[in-house]
Every structure is written in structure tokens, then in C-alpha cells.
Chain A
Amino acid sequence: MRFCNKIADSLKVIIRKKNYMITKHKDNPDNMNNNSSHMIHTENVRFQYVKHDEDGNPVGTVTAVDGVDMTINRGEFIAILGHNGSGKSTLAKHFNALLYPSEGAVFVDGMDTTDDDKVWDIRQKAGMVFQNPDNQIIGQIVEEDVGFGPENMGVPTDEIWERVNESLKTVGMYEYRKASPNHLSGGQKQRVSIAGVIAMHPECIIMDEPTAMLDPSGRKEVIRAARALNDVEGITVILITHYMEEVVHADRIFVMDKGRVVMSGTPREVFSQVDKLQELRLDVPQVTLLADSLRKKGLDIPAGILTREELISALADLKHKQDSDRQ
């Protein structure tokens, strides 16, 4: 155990160093093709599902992803938003070679996902947490389930336990390590599946609505964990969600509509376009809504407010100004 701790510590140092070099790229999203700074890179990806009739005969296709060019740099925290059926999950499944493009190409850390020899490497680099935890829990006991990934990767037993405990603590499920996943509630299961991915120490984590089934503290914990994985460990995080509040700290946001990326930018850039977002069936965070409502009533509040702190300080400034004007 001691020994492993040391290894883990020195690994963290290495990761931090790597991260230091990465941060430079973060500010520069336009770095060119197959650059080692690209965690994920897609070129004009189209994907069609084949529709079947009752007897399983193909009867047509649905274009779920329709020409997506996307570059995600190492160490970025990316959010993908979009209405139901806009193609988010379908696109995300391309990032760890669960689906292959019907047209175009997807590269994960420079590896073409259609390269059969690389599938295993790709899945190890890019771990996925799905919308419904039921589909990804296999073990009979929580800790066994979480250890399944690292075990499959050939991680030595001692270290497996280390990773299992550490990742269960990260998601607040350590107390349940001996429980049977089948007997957990929806939210508890979701946290176990996140732990399962974290235990594989991937370079990139794709989370497809990981908090949809969680209570307010569970949601906070998971988002905090995701941010820590990104900040401290330098892991690239791709978060798909319908909760606008969860993405205000992302480096960049992509908004999808009918299989295409129709908006992208920093949270401030994206959330300052309230009307456009609402047209796309989305919304802005609650604070932004409140700030907007106050602005419409005539208060001189800056656009693009994203956090509680920003709103409070804007209001405090206004109040201060009003009080001193009165004197």
C-alpha cells in the first residue's frame, strides 16, 4: 500500500507537469490537425442510424449527426448542450469508438477511431459515463464493479484496490463499497458508474448527463469531482447536460441542433444570447435569468452574469451608487 501511494504521488506530479504544458494550448483552440494537443478531433462527421420495421428489415435512415467539425484540446473542460434528439449522445459515442462515422473521421489523441488496432487504446484514453447507469453496472458488489475496468487493463491487484477506494471516495460512495449495485437507488448507481470510469485513470472523460438522476448535493459532488479531475489531474472533461448551471465553469460550450453544432464559445459568450438559446429549446442559468429580468425592468446590470457572486456584486455597486447619488 505504502509503495503504491508513492507511485501515485509521483504520478500526480508528472500529470501536473504535463498539465502545465497543456494550459498553454487551452487558450489556443485553433491549433491544427493531429496536433498532439488535440484530445478529440472530428472532421465533418456524419452518422446515420438505420431504421427497422417490426420484422427487423431496414426501412430507412435517421441522420443523427450531420457534419460536425470539432476540436477538443487536452485539459479542456468542454460542455455540449442541445435539445432532445439533437445528436449529443450519438456524437459522444464516437469519442470512444462505440460508434463509427458514416462519413468523415474522428481522432482520439491522434488515433483514427476506425483503426481496429487502436480500439482498446482509445477506450482506455477516453472513458464514458452514460445517461442511464443501469446499462453500465456489471459487478455484483460495488467495489468489484469499480475494479472491473482497471482489472481488465491489467493493473496490479494492490493498485486496483487503491484506485477503487480513491474513486469511490471521490464520488462519495465509499461507504457503499460492499453493497450490491442492484440494490442502490438511481442516484447512487450513477455515482458508482462515474467511479468505475475514474478508476481507469483515463485522459479524457465523457459524461452523458451524469447528474440527471441526482439530488442537489449529489449533483454538486459530481460536478465538483469533474472539475477537480480537470483542474488537478488535467483530465479532459466533456460534459453533456441539460442543467445550464453546471456548465458556467466550462472552458468552452458547443450547442447542437439537429445534428449540427450551431453555437460555440465561452459560457459568457453563449449565455449572453438568451433569445437564441431559448429558440434552440435551451435556457440560461437561474442567476442569468434573474439578472436579465432585472435588466428588463430598467436596472443597469451588465449582460452575461453567470454566478451568484457576480450578480450580488453588481447589485451592491448599483445600491452604493444610488445611495451616494442621494446624498
Chain B
Amino acid sequence: MALKLDHVNYIYDADTEMAHVALKDVSLEIGNGEFIGLIGHTGSGKSTLVTHLNGLVKPTSGQVLFDGHDINEKDYDRKKLRSKVGLVFQYPEHQLFETDVFADVCFGPKNLGLSKDEIEKRAYEALRMVGLSDDFYKQSPFDLSGGQKRRVAIAGVLAMEPEILVLDEPTAGLDPKGKNEILDLLKNLHEEKGITVVLVSHSMEDVANYVDRIIVMDHGQVQFDDEPKKVFASYKELEKMGLAAPQVTYIMKDLKEKGFNVDDTVTTIEEASDEIMKQFT
């Protein structure tokens, strides 16, 4: 199930004087079973890009292909596509609308035409996965705290059991434990069910810890597309784009400067800890 962007350009308000180019000649492929991190400065085009992946937004020019078929062709079954490519929006408010939490999570599976039992089973399962207590199931999703809303929005997409899960800053606003729980959940879905994950994030630490490949957007263009260590090795360029290396990488660089003979390309706490211990044996 590969998704492919082929020379995609996107312009907001094209044909007006407010025209704004948000994606410039973006070509990339999302292969089956990948775990990809999508990073980039605010306004770099990440959200615009991910809304192309399930056909919510149509490229101004270029193509989006799913298994080789142009998803924006007139008679392409986009409803089916959306059941395969699940998108969690950046702002949960844009996704929640039912009168209570449970109904909200049922909405997606209901649209798939599943039986009532199956719908409810999936909704319970999804709400359990995101760690929302059943005290909230009958409450309006709008009467929840920021992090609770986020969990409902994620559950709504999980309940559709998509093959490709695209999440636009899903951990923003989650408490540290909740953030790790959601990231671990994605990791499990990826490892055990082979689900493809595209994770948009502003946390360099999170992408360093979880993803296998990082795509870096800068002013609407793909600037890097590589494995995390290689991308973070270009931290000077990343900084110029409003990004950074993970915090531990900077610690290692400082240590190296102080004369420690450490590998300064490590990106996670465990690696850094092992590396430093080598100095004290």
C-alpha cells in the first residue's frame, strides 16, 4: 500500500492576490510498513502535505497516487481511501462534533457500514488504547480538557483501523506520560499490525526515539529525507530552518568540545548514557 506524491504543488487562494505557495514540487513515497517522522518549522507545509494524503485537499498541480492510482481522478473511491488512510488533525476541535465522546468515536466506524456491535467494540477498544477513562464516554467532547480532547480525536481515527495512520502533532498538549503512552501505542501498532505511521511532530526527541525515517519540510519543500541520525548530523542546517537536534546531541557536542572522546551523533538518552559511561571505566 504505497502512497506517492509526484511533483505536488499547492497554492492557497490561487488566482487571488493573497495567493500563497504552501507546497513546492514535493515528491516522495511512503512505503508499506514505514514509521516516518515529518518535521519542519511552523508554516513549513506539514499540515498541508498530510491533508493531501487522504484526498482532503487536492494538489494545485502534480499527483497523489495510492497503489499507483491517482486519488484525485473523478471516479476514484475517496471514501474507501479515507478508511485506509486515517488522518488525525492538528487541532482536535476540527475533528470533534458529536454530542458525546462515545458517539464521536463511533462516527468513523459507523461510516464504514459496520454492524452496531462491531462499531461499539471498536470504539471501546480505541478509547481504551488512548487511555481515556469511561467516566467521560457520555460527556460532550467539548467539555474536556485539552489533552482529553486530543485522546478522543486519536481514538476516533484508530477505531477505523486504517492501514496508514497519519497524525498531525498528536502529542501536542498531552502530559509527558500520556505522550509516551501514545507514542508507544503507535510503535506497537506499527510493529505488531504492520501499520504505516506518519507522525508530524515538533519534538526532535520524540522523532529521534521512535521513527525510522525523517522528512524535513522547509518553506514548502522537502529538504531532507533520510534516517534520523543522518538528518540530525546536519543540525546546523536544521537550526537555520527553525529546528534543532535532540537535546542530548547538544550535550554530547559540548562534551566533545571539552575534550571528551565521545560519539556526538547519538540522539537518544540511552545511547548518550552508554557513550558517556565508556569514558569512566
A contact set with B: CB distance below 8 Å: 49, 51-54, 82-85, 89, 131-132, 134, 180, 183-188, 190, 209, 212-219, 242, 244-245, 278, 281-283, 286-287, 289-290, 293-294, 297, 299, 308, 311-312, 315-316, 318-319, 322
Q: Which residues from chain A contact B143 at a C-beta distance below 8 Å?
A: 49, 51-52
Q: Which of B59-67, B77-85, B156-164, B249-257 contacts A (4 or more CB under 8 A)?
A: B249-257
Select B176's contact among A214, A216, A283, A287, beta carbons within 8 Å: A283
Sample of 10 further A-B pairs with CB below 8 A, known A89-B145, A281-B176: A49-B143, A83-B147, A84-B147, A131-B173, A132-B93, A217-B242, A242-B174, A286-B205, A290-B248, A322-B280
CA distance A131 to B192 in the complex (A): 34
CA distance A66 to B89 in the complex (A): 33
* A85 & B269 in contact (Cβ 8 Å cutoff): no
* Residues of B24-44 contacting chain A, CB below 8 A: 39-44
* A244 & B146 in contact (Cβ 8 Å cutoff): no
Which 4 pairs of residues, A with B, have the shortest CB-CB distance? A187-B42, A84-B147, A281-B177, A283-B176
Please name 26 pairs of A and B residues whose Cβ atoms are closer than 8 Å in the assembled complex, sorted by A: A84-B146, A84-B148, A84-B150, A84-B178, A85-B144, A85-B148, A134-B93, A183-B13, A183-B18, A185-B47, A212-B146, A213-B42, A213-B90, A214-B202, A218-B42, A282-B176, A286-B248, A290-B251, A290-B272, A293-B270, A293-B273, A299-B276, A308-B250, A311-B251, A312-B258, A315-B276
Known pairs A84-B148, A132-B146; A214 contacts B174 (CB<8 A): no
Residue of B13, B138, B175, B204 ringed by the most chain A CB atoms within 10 A: B175
CA distance A242 to B138 in the complex (A): 27
CA distance A89 to B258 in the complex (A): 43
Which residue of B is nearest A312, CB measured?
B254
Least CB distance from A90 to B in Å reads: 8
Q: Which residues from chain B contact A188 at a C-beta distance below 8 Å?
A: 42-43
CA distance A72 to B240 in the complex (A): 38
Which residue of B is nearest A133, CB measured?
B91
* A134 & B91 in contact (Cβ 8 Å cutoff): yes
How many contacts between A and B, using CB within 8 angstroms? 153
Known pairs A183-B12, A218-B42, A297-B277; A278 contacts B99 (CB<8 A): no
* A290 & B273 in contact (Cβ 8 Å cutoff): yes
Least CB distance from B99 to A in Å reads: 5
User: Is B169 positioned at the interface, with any CB of A under 8 Å from its CB?
Assistant: yes
* B42 & A186 in contact (Cβ 8 Å cutoff): yes
Known pairs A54-B99, A282-B176, A319-B260; A215 contacts B202 (CB<8 A): yes
Q: Which residues from chain A contact B270 at a C-beta distance below 8 Å?
A: 293
Select A83's contact among B43, B169, B175, beta carbons within 8 Å: B175
* Residues of B207-261 contacting chain A, CB below 8 A: 239, 242-244, 246-248, 250-251, 254-255, 258, 260
* A242 & B242 in contact (Cβ 8 Å cutoff): no
Which residue of B is nearest A53, CB measured?
B138
CA distance A289 to B269 in the complex (A): 8
Known pairs A218-B41, A287-B251; A85 contacts B147 (CB<8 A): yes
* A215 & B40 in contact (Cβ 8 Å cutoff): yes
CA distance A124 to B151 in the complex (A): 34
